[in-house]
């Protein structure tokens, strides 16, 4: 259905006027919704920024930008996605059409931010049908589905000598998306003071760490964890023999594990994404619930988020090496 020009939904951030599209009500979707696809929330994560924390994206384009393509999803193992790419920090926004947040006036509406699952190794924000959720909601709302970095590109655990990389940047992507929501969701009709985060499996696991690390009501106000928690997985110290044993049993050479610098990993993402082993930073670290995931070993490179205490916290990631499931 082609939407007439005067009905095209829009959201203005700085000099940029994002133009979305309206999806009509159908038998399966009882209410129309406005959608804005591929809105960037973080700076480029390609090239020299591959293993570094991103910063908030600042729109610079003047005038109309059509937000009708979902953009890249994170390079991942398994499945087929013709739009995988390293510049993947984007959100897909769905809002009630004609309500308080969708052009109907009357103030801002509640916001739901969704983090997908996939064992921190695969998946994307489009795995949850946000159109259905918003269309069937009893009250007006804004839904935000987040893409974040995965696998070795998102959850590498660099040792203390690593100067040119940050650990577990996928978790920092999650926090950055919430910072973006606080700053910009009002442009889409959402209330930054009424944000609920929802995650399934790995997404819920990540939210659990955010709950441990971020002061209450700083970036979100309620949380829904579906089939995941920060203590749901064992976390192995970097010196634990199991990853090497599993690699030997599978007859695989762990070349990525032996890389001593990020420059040695300046290879196409397709060659890296199969290196799916997760990382625990800090020898002898206990399970993830006891320490904030966002706090990494080198304070100079990995400062603690607001409200996260010190005292030997380490950056942890607890997925089992080689595990293939929906976690």
pLDDT of 147 above 90: yes
Q: Looking at residue 196, which CATH number applies to its domain?
A: 3.40.50.1820
Q: Which pLDDT score, from 0 to 100, does residue 98 have?
A: 73
Rounded mean pLDDT, 90-111: 79
When pLDDT is cut at 50, 70 and 90, the band that residue 299 belongs to is very low
Q: Classify burial at 6, counting beta carbons within 10 Å of its beta carbon; exposed 0-12, middle 13-18, buried 19 or more.
A: exposed
Q: Where do we find the tokens 């976390």?
A: 235
Rounded mean pLDDT, 227-250: 65
DSSP string, 90-143: EEEEEEESSSTTTTS-SS-EEEEEEE--STTTS--GGGS-HHHHHHH-SS--EE
Q: Which pLDDT score, from 0 to 100, does residue 106 have?
A: 57
Contacts of 215 (CB under 8 A, 6+ apart): 306, 307
288-311 CB burial, b ≥16 within 10 A, e <16? bbebbbbbbbbeebbeebeebeee
pLDDT of 130 above 70: yes
Q: What is the DSSP letter of 47?
A: G
Q: What is the DSSP letter of 261?
A: S
The parent domain of residue 219 ranges over 1-327
* pLDDT (tens digit per residue) in 246-264: 556 655 444 445 545 555 5
* pLDDT (tens digit per residue) in 186-227: 999 999 999 999 999 999 999 998 998 888 788 999 999 998
Least confident of 73-82, 122-131, 275-284, 316-325: 316-325
When pLDDT is cut at 50, 70 and 90, the band that residue 304 belongs to is very low
Cα separation, 101 vs 114, in Å, equals 18
* Residue bearing the bigger pLDDT, 107 or 255: 107
Task: Domain count for the chain, please give it.
Answer: 1
Q: Which pLDDT score, from 0 to 100, does residue 88 have?
A: 92
* Residue bearing the bigger pLDDT, 283 or 121: 121
Q: Which helix (H) or strand (E) holds 204?
A: helix 202-213
Cα separation, 24 vs 32, in Å, equals 4
* Residue bearing the bigger pLDDT, 163 or 129: 129
pLDDT of 17 above 90: yes
| 3-state class (DSSP) for residue 282 | coil
Rounded mean pLDDT, 141-149: 96
Q: Which pLDDT score, from 0 to 100, does residue 306 have?
A: 37
Least confident of 112-116, 174-178, 283-287: 283-287
With vertex at residue 278, the alpha carbon angle to CA 275 and CA 279, rounded to the nearest 5 degrees, is 120
Cα separation, 105 vs 8, in Å, equals 16
Most confidently modeled range among 105-109, 110-114, 235-239: 110-114
* Whether 29 contacts 94, CB under 8 Å: no
What is the chain's Cα-based Rg? 20
Q: Which pLDDT score, from 0 to 100, does residue 277 have?
A: 40
pLDDT of 267 above 60: no
**Residue 113 phi, psi dihedral angles, 5° rounding:** -105, 125
* Whether 140 contacts 100, CB under 8 Å: yes
227-236 CB burial, b ≥16 within 10 A, e <16? ebebebbebb
* Residue bearing the bigger pLDDT, 92 or 314: 92
Q: Which pLDDT score, from 0 to 100, does residue 78 have?
A: 61
Q: Which pLDDT score, from 0 to 100, does residue 235 have?
A: 57
pLDDT of 33 above 90: yes
When pLDDT is cut at 50, 70 and 90, the band that residue 283 belongs to is very low
* pLDDT (tens digit per residue) in 37-82: 999 999 998 888 888 899 999 999 999 999 999 888 888 766 555 6
Cα separation, 156 vs 238, in Å, equals 11
Q: Are strands 21-23 and 63-66 parallel, antiparallel or unpaired?
A: unpaired
Contacts of 47 (CB under 8 A, 6+ apart): none
Q: What is the DSSP letter of 159?
A: -
């Amino acid at each position: 259905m082609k939407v007439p020009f005067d009905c095209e939904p829009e959201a203005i951030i700085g000099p940029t006027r994002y133009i979305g599209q309206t999806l009509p009500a159908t038998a399966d979707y009882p209410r129309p919704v406005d959608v804005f696809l591929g809105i960037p929330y973080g700076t480029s994560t390609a090239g020299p920024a591959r293993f570094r924390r991103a910063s908030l994206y600042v729109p610079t384009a003047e005038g109309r930008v059509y937000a009708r393509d979902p953009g890249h999803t994170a390079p991942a193992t398994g499945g087929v996605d013709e739009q995988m790419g390293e510049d993947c920090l984007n959100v897909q926004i769905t809002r009630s059409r004609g309500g308080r947040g969708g052009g109907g006036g009357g103030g801002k509406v509640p916001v739901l931010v969704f983090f997908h699952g996939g064992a921190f190794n695969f998946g994307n924000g489009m795995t949850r049908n946000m159109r259905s959720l918003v269309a069937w909601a009893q009250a007006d709302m804004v839904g935000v589905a987040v893409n974040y970095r995965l696998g070795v590109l998102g959850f590498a655990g660099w040792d203390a000598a690593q100067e040119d990389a940050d650990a577990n940047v996928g978790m920092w992507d999650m926090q950055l998306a919430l910072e973006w929501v606080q700053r910009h969701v009002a442009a889409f009709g959402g209330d930054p003071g009424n944000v609920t985060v929802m995650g399934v499996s790995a997404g819920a696991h990540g939210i659990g760490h955010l709950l441990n690390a971020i002061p209450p009501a700083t970036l979100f106000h309620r949380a829904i964890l579906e089939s995941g928690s920060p203590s749901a997985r064992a976390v192995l110290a970097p010196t634990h023999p199991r990853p090497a044993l599993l690699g030997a049993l599978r007859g695989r050479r762990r070349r990525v594990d032996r890389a001593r610098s990020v420059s040695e990993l300046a290879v196409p993402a397709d060659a890296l994404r199969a290196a799916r082993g997760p990382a625990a930073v800090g020898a002898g670290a206990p399970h993830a619930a006891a320490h904030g995931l966002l706090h990494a070993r080198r304070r100079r490179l990995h400062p603690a988020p607001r409200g996260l205490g010190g005292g030997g916290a380490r950056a942890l990631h607890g997925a089992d090496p080689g595990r293939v499931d929906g976690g």
